[in-house]
């Protein structure tokens, strides 16, 4: 099993031979962060893959919506947004799940302390980085959570749309297992209206169809 401490000790020895002290500390922190975020691949989500073979993990989710940024860019509410910033935001936003885990969006009890758990996780994980990058990554995460910029609104729209689409394509398997209703999904999907209103029209059509096909309770 990988021992991060041993890995860092070995890296430090090699860095000391080739870099000046300031470079050593910075690169050490960046390597430590890179190793730490690999844990996101171990965090399972309720959303299942489209072939229904297993649950997706949070790293797969982040990759999928990062692709969606430019795939669906023509549907964004604001066409002058910083697309690169949106991608960064979406790649960073779920890193807190390394500590906090993935909270199922329809789990009312789990959501009661979700914010506290994720704030604590953000504090620990982003502080692994050098100070300037720590501030930058944390600012991206905070912006996503607040949903008060055009970039964060579009990012949140995609974050809601991706699992919704997979739930629909898999005939509402997870929705049906958890007895999710039309009104719950409509409420959950509201950020799509704010960030990508044309996708919202598609969401409404899919929701109506899902109810008709008994993927969702009416």
Domain boundaries, the chain: 43-212
Q: How high is the pLDDT of residue 20? A: 63
Tokens found for residue 20? 């000046």
Residue the block writes with tokens 């072939």: 51
Q: How high is the pLDDT of residue 218? A: 87
- The reported pTM is 0.90
Q: How high is the pLDDT of residue 5? A: 62
Q: How high is the pLDDT of residue 179? A: 97
Q: How high is the pLDDT of residue 24? A: 85
CATH of 43-212, one of 1.50.10.20, 3.40.50.880, 3.40.190.10, 1.10.3210.10: 1.10.3210.10
Q: How high is the pLDDT of residue 44? A: 97
Q: Rounded distance, CA 62 to CA 195, Å?
A: 18
Q: How high is the pLDDT of residue 110? A: 86
Burial of 193 (0-12, 13-18, 19+ CB in 10 A): middle
Q: Please report, in angstroms and rounded to a whole number, the separation of the first and last CA atoms in the chain.
A: 48
- DSSP 3-state assignment of 69? helix
pLDDT by 10-residue block (mean), the chain, 218 residues: 63 62 87 97 97 97 98 96 98 98 92 94 98 98 98 98 98 97 97 96 98 96
């Amino acid at each position: 099993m990988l021992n991060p401490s041993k890995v860092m000790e070995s890296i430090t020895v090699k860095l000391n031979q080739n870099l000046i002290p300031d470079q050593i500390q910075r690169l050490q922190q960046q390597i430590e962060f890179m190793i730490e975020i690999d844990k996101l691949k171990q965090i399972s989500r309720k959303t299942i893959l489209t072939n229904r073979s297993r649950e997706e993990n949070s790293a797969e989710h982040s990759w999928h919506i990062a692709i969606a940024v430019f795939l669906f860019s023509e549907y964004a509410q604001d066409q002058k947004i910083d697309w690169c910033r949106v991608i960064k935001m979406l790649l960073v936003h779920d890193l807190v799940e390394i500590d906090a885990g993935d909270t199922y969006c329809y789990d009312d009890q789990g959501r009661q302390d979700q914010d506290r758990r994720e704030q604590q996780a953000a504090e620990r994980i982003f502080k692994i980085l050098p100070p300037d990058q720590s501030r930058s990554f944390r600012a991206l995460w905070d912006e996503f959570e607040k949903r008060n910029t055009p970039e964060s609104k579009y990012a949140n729209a995609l974050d809601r749309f991706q699992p919704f689409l997979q739930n629909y394509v898999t005939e509402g398997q997870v929705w049906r297992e958890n007895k999710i209703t039309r009104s719950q999904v409509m409420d959950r999907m509201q950020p799509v209206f704010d960030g990508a209103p044309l996708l919202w029209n598609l969401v409404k059509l899919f929701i109506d169809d899902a109810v008709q096909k008994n993927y969702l309770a009416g």
